[in-house]
């Protein structure tokens, strides 16, 4: 058993963990990051899309080494086939190469003084008088006891740390998507600067199929379906394979170069993001955009707030739940508000059948959809009243 002493331990070296570590280390906090994987950044559990704002608000400038494809819009394909093109204007997006991005973020934190350990499994928290005071970990068969006044759980949907501290972070199949993805080469994509998103329950029950281009015919081709509709013989992989087979114009010359799967929390964030000596960030805290399932932007921003609050709390010598709760308050006042609004939109969309979705695609303009996914439903409500009264009761129930 080896004993180590740090001010802060971050469990998980994904985007959230490394942004938390960078923030803490940048403020002079002695920080250690643990990751159970033997290589940071792999396997990805992600479609790798992020908007420019998501990078800039945590102080990152897109770097062509990891921001491999610029995205300036998306095409939404309604179940009946109608394609709606949304242009992002000034809101440029990027497809990341996560394998490189995550290592870049780790290097950034290390250059600011953080220490990292990989292939190191945090097996649980150490508690004293009900407070979290460190973690136990295993590195290649060697046991570590790491004392730390602050622990940040950034260990993903399969978080063991929050659970071992007694927090309830279990996902429910009605608020969780089952995801599957091939990264493919040889794709024939009309518009490599666009996200391609396919709706309809035949394609992806209560979810969508995506093609996110990475340039030169390479792209992430994936699917998310609502967990409670996933069933033996009707799994995410089954639906994606069927989609690929039905579109030879895109896929006839394509082959996979990688396979990914994952669980995607699309409900509310966990009830409380902190405990005595502990903070939760990213997928571990269910900080994901409920309408598109993207999590990188929200996770990194939450981690930045957590790092800032954590550093202040450490310098004041108070890492109680009450002190750390400032992070919970700040997060909920920002991204939390938007996430709750979009959760309503998700509930509404889930009640619509493919015919309803086709109707919406017919009556809504592209710029209106852009506003809807930002949480502004006013225009959609007016359009529904005038042009699609059959959907009105559902819109009233879920969006007002």
Taking the complex as a whole, the smallest distance from the CB of residue 102 to other proteins amounts, in Å, to 15
Q: Convert 113-155 into a string of H (helix), E (strand) and C (coil).
A: CCEEECCEEEEEEEEECCEEEEEEEEECCEEEEEEEEEEEECC
Q: Measure the CA–CA gap between 308 and 24, rounded to whole angstroms.
A: 7
Q: Measure the CA–CA gap between 382 and 371, rounded to whole angstroms.
A: 13
Q: Residue 257 has what DSSP assignment?
A: E
Taking the complex as a whole, the smallest distance from the CB of residue 267 to other proteins amounts, in Å, to 12
Q: Measure the CA–CA gap between 213 and 195, rounded to whole angstroms.
A: 7
Cβ proximity to other proteins, 177 vs 214, nearer residue: 177
Q: Measure the CA–CA gap between 392 and 66, rounded to whole angstroms.
A: 44
Taking the complex as a whole, the smallest distance from the CB of residue 114 to other proteins amounts, in Å, to 22
Q: Measure the CA–CA gap between 393 and 337, rounded to whole angstroms.
A: 24
Cβ proximity to other proteins, 208 vs 348, nearer residue: 208
CB 173 within 8 A of CB 224: no
SS3 assignment, position 86 = strand
Taking the complex as a whole, the smallest distance from the CB of residue 159 to other proteins amounts, in Å, to 8
Cβ proximity to other proteins, 121 vs 132, nearer residue: 121
Taking the complex as a whole, the smallest distance from the CB of residue 169 to other proteins amounts, in Å, to 8
Cβ proximity to other proteins, 116 vs 377, nearer residue: 116
Cβ proximity to other proteins, 52 vs 294, nearer residue: 294
Q: Residue 175 has what DSSP assignment?
A: G
CB 163 within 8 A of CB 285: no
**Helices and strands counted in the chain (H then E):** 13, 18
Nearest to residue 165, comparing CAs of 337, 350, 9, 394? 9
Q: Measure the CA–CA gap between 131 and 358, rounded to whole angstroms.
A: 53
Cβ proximity to other proteins, 106 vs 395, nearer residue: 106
Q: Residue 81 has what DSSP assignment?
A: S
Taking the complex as a whole, the smallest distance from the CB of residue 228 to other proteins amounts, in Å, to 8
Cβ proximity to other proteins, 45 vs 323, nearer residue: 45
The number of CA neighbours under 13 Å toward the Cβ of 299 is 28
Cβ proximity to other proteins, 43 vs 186, nearer residue: 43
Taking the complex as a whole, the smallest distance from the CB of residue 329 to other proteins amounts, in Å, to 26
Taking the complex as a whole, the smallest distance from the CB of residue 181 to other proteins amounts, in Å, to 9
Taking the complex as a whole, the smallest distance from the CB of residue 346 to other proteins amounts, in Å, to 18
Q: What are phi and psi of 232, to 5 degrees?
A: -50, 130
> Which chain residues interact with other proteins by CB under 8 A?
36-38, 43, 45, 119, 121, 156-160, 163, 169-173, 176, 178-180, 227-228, 230-233, 235-238, 259-265, 283
Cα Rg of the chain, angstroms: 21
Cβ proximity to other proteins, 258 vs 350, nearer residue: 258
């Amino acid at each position: 058993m080896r004993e180590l002493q740090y001010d802060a331990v971050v469990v998980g070296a994904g985007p959230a963990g490394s942004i938390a570590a960078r923030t803490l280390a940048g403020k002079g906090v002695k920080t250690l990051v643990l990751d159970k994987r033997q290589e940071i950044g792999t396997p990805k559990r992600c479609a790798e899309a992020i908007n420019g704002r998501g990078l800039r608000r945590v102080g990152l400038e897109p770097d062509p080494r990891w921001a491999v494809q610029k995205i300036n819009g998306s095409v939404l394909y309604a179940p009946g086939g109608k394609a709606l093109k949304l242009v992002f204007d000034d809101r440029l997006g990027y497809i990341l190469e996560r394998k490189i991005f995550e290592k870049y973020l780790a290097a950034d934190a290390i250059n600011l003084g953080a220490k990292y350990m990989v292939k190191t499994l945090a097996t649980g928290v150490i508690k004293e008088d009900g407070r979290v005071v460190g973690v136990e970990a295993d590195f290649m068969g060697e046991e570590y006891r790491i004392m730390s006044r602050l622990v940040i759980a950034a260990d993903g949907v399969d978080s063991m740390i929050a659970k071992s501290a007694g927090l309830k972070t279990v996902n429910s199949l009605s608020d969780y998507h089952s995801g599957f993805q091939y990264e493919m080469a040889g794709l024939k994509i009309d518009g490599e600067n666009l996200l391609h998103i396919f709706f309809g329950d035949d394609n992806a029950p209560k979810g969508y199929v995506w093609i996110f281009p990475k340039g030169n015919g390479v792209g992430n081709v994936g699917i998310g379906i609502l967990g409670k509709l996933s069933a033996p013989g009707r799994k995410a992989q089954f639906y994606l394979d069927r989609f690929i087979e039905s579109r030879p114009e895109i896929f006839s010359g394509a082959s996979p170069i990688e396979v990914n799967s994952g669980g995607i929390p699309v409900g509310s964030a966990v009830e409380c993001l902190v405990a005595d000596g502990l903070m939760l960030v990213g997928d571990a805290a269910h900080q994901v955009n409920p309408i598109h399932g993207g999590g990188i932007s929200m996770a990194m921003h939450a981690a930045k707030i957590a790092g800032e609050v954590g550093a202040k709390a450490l310098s004041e010598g108070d890492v109680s739940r009450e002190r750390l709760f400032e992070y919970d308050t700040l997060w909920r006042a920002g991204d939390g508000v938007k996430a709750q609004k979009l959760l309503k939109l998700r509930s509404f969309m889930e009640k619509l059948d493919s015919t309803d979705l086709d109707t919406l695609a017919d009556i809504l303009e592209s710029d209106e959809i852009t506003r809807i996914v930002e949480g502004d439903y006013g225009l959609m409500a007016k359009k529904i009243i005038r042009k699609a009264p059959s959907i009105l009761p559902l819109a009233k129930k879920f969006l007002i």
